[in-house]
Amino acid sequence: MKARKYWTLALVLTLGVILGGCTTCDEIRSKTRERLLQLSAGMTKEEVLDITGRRRICCTTTGATTKTINNPYSSEILVGKGKTLEVLYYYTDRKHAGFAVRDEDLTPVVFEDDRLIGWGWNFLNEQIERYEIKFRRKR
């Protein structure tokens, strides 16, 4: 019986540490937006990742639902008219109710030849139109 008590206590403490390490998803989005403000065109991908981070982040939503967010959330390679661009997507917004992260909740950060050339949906859409890019997202 004593052994069972100790295992129960150990489990409760472990869960407390794990869940205690979580932050809210609102805080994650806010910190990510702050970090993106530190970027400037011409930075290398490595410099950008040093600022924005490259890890999985545990966060809680309302109702104590826990989820894990990749940072960056996803990436893709865009190819068109002799151009190859790499795009990293960061979780920065929550524009709808629900648990799923949608494209409109993400901010694209665009690289060409390992150099940051711009960010945001307007910039990305201009590149897609200019270079007639047909792409498929990698997640």
What is the rounded average pLDDT for all residues in the chain? 83
Q: Is the pLDDT of residue 63 over 80?
A: no
Given this model, what pLDDT does residue 135 score?
Answer: 66
Q: CA–CA separation, 123 vs 54, rounded Å?
A: 23
Is residue 7 exposed (0-12), middle (13-18) or buried (19+ Cβ within 10 Å)?
A: exposed
Q: Determine what percent of the chain is predicted with pLDDT higher than 70.
A: 78
**Mean per-residue pLDDT, 7-13:** 40
* pLDDT tier for residue 106 given thresholds of 50, 70 and 90: very high
Whether the full predicted model's pTM is greater than 0.85, yes or no, is no
